[in-house]
Amino acid sequence: MKIILSILGILFFNFNSGSLLLAADFTNSMLPPPASASASKTNEVTPVAIAGSEAFVFRKIGETELRLFVVNPAGWTKSDRRPCFVSFFGGGWVSGNPEHSITWAKWAASEGLVGVAPDYRTRNRFGGTPENCVSDGRAAVRWVEEHADELGIDVTKIIVQGGSAGGHVAAWTAIPSDGPGKNDPAPKVLPAALVLLNPVTDTKDSGYGGTKRFGKDAARALACSVPDQMPAMMPPTIVFHATGDKTVSYSDSVAFRDKLVSKGNRCELVTFEGLGHSYNSSKYGEAGKAADIKTREDVATFLASLGLVETGIHNNQNKQ
């Protein structure tokens, strides 16, 4: 019995990560994350270069440099005024990095757009909060706008895409008011379109995250909630979501679509029956592969209807 109690005294189960913690680590897990999370502890690396792209530092906070990765289409020149496709990775504001969204940037380049995959301050790598993630996403789009001549893009044709928590970051780039974090102004020119995959939208207890992900602070959760903070008019939006999603409820996207449409916005919701979160990933086998192909085809068709890509150009070689 003493041995068992001794073991229990030094081991605890972390229900968020599904792993055992030593007693000293358990105490740390109950505290806010450090200002800069160590990659050696999280096994997550912050990329400074990604093959097939050019890296730019778009924001510096203290000693932390945040980069975005630009993929130029064939035939690109600096004098171009091309549409731009900015893609944000997901991971619950906790994990992930631009290597998870660079495939969308490369897909965009294959469609003739300039593709951009920005980083932002996740909890694991930077000790970031959801507010930090939103602020960094908006800062990335502002940087792209300010460097339009250098990037060869048209600031009135910036499409912002994101999946899961990246969808939350993407949606916030279209909200013209100050964001939920400090020093968090909106982009000067709001996106021409939004492309959201199983996105986090409602961050209250009725949606994803809720107060438990905001330090049990309901006011913070409300301040980050897209449906509660977005203006009446939003950019044309296409949303993809699977009915079997147990991470971010499909009903959240239905409610989001309905609210946008009720205000006179264009919002299309593409539904995948039975699949779960990250419905277009390899974990769903052939069904996931088919969903991924359909997603990219539908995105191209949607953007073509807005005059942002040429009709009939569909390249589905790059997968998320």
In which domain, by residue range, is 23 found? 1-27
Per-residue pLDDT band for 314 (boundaries 50, 70, 90) equals very low
Task: Tell me the CATH number at 148.
Answer: 3.40.50.1820
The model's pTM is: 0.85
Share of the chain above pLDDT 70, in %: 84
Per-residue pLDDT band for 310 (boundaries 50, 70, 90) equals confident
Q: What is the mean pLDDT of the chain?
A: 87
Q: What angle do CA 198, 108, 195 make, to 5 degrees?
A: 25
Q: Kindly state whether residues 195 and 236 are assigned to the same domain.
A: yes
Q: Kindly state whether residues 67 and 171 are assigned to the same domain.
A: yes
Q: Kindly state whether residues 166 and 267 are assigned to the same domain.
A: yes
- Which range is least confidently modeled, 43-47, 70-74, 145-149, 311-315? 311-315
> Mind listing the pLDDT tens digit for each residue in 2-59?
444 343 333 333 333 333 333 333 333 333 333 333 344 468 999 999 999 999 999 9
Of residues 69 and 4, which shows the higher confidence score? 69
> Do residues 226 and 175 make contact, with C-beta atoms less than 8 angstroms apart?
yes
Half-sphere exposure of 105 (CA within 13 A, CB side): 26
Q: Kindly state whether residues 192 and 261 are assigned to the same domain.
A: yes
> Do residues 89 and 82 make contact, with C-beta atoms less than 8 angstroms apart?
no
Segment 274-290 shows an average pLDDT of 97
Edge-first strand listing for the sheet containing 64-71 = 54-61, 64-71, 114-118, 82-88, 153-163, 193-197, 237-242, 267-272
The SS3 of residue 45 is coil
Given a cut of 80, whether residue 242 has pLDDT beyond it is yes
Tell me what pLDDT residue 115 has.
98
Tell me what pLDDT residue 311 has.
58
Segment 159-175 shows an average pLDDT of 98
Tell me what pLDDT residue 185 has.
96
Q: Kindly state whether residues 159 and 61 are assigned to the same domain.
A: yes
Per-residue pLDDT band for 74 (boundaries 50, 70, 90) equals very high
From 260, 148, 110, 135, select the one nearest 196 (Cα to Cα). Answer: 260
Of residues 196 and 310, which shows the higher confidence score? 196
* Number of domains present in the structure of the chain: 2
Given a cut of 50, whether residue 263 has pLDDT beyond it is yes
Q: Kindly state whether residues 157 and 90 are assigned to the same domain.
A: yes
Q: Kindly state whether residues 1 and 110 are assigned to the same domain.
A: no
| CB within 8 Å of 236: residues ≥ 6 apart | 192, 193, 194, 265, 266, 267, 302, 306
> Mind listing the pLDDT tens digit for each residue in 89-145?
999 999 999 999 999 999 999 999 999 999 999 999 999 999 999 999 999 999 999
Q: Kindly state whether residues 7 and 68 are assigned to the same domain.
A: no
Alpha-carbon distances of 45 from 88, 217, 288, 308, rounded to whole Å? 17, 30, 27, 34
Q: Kindly state whether residues 162 and 233 are assigned to the same domain.
A: yes
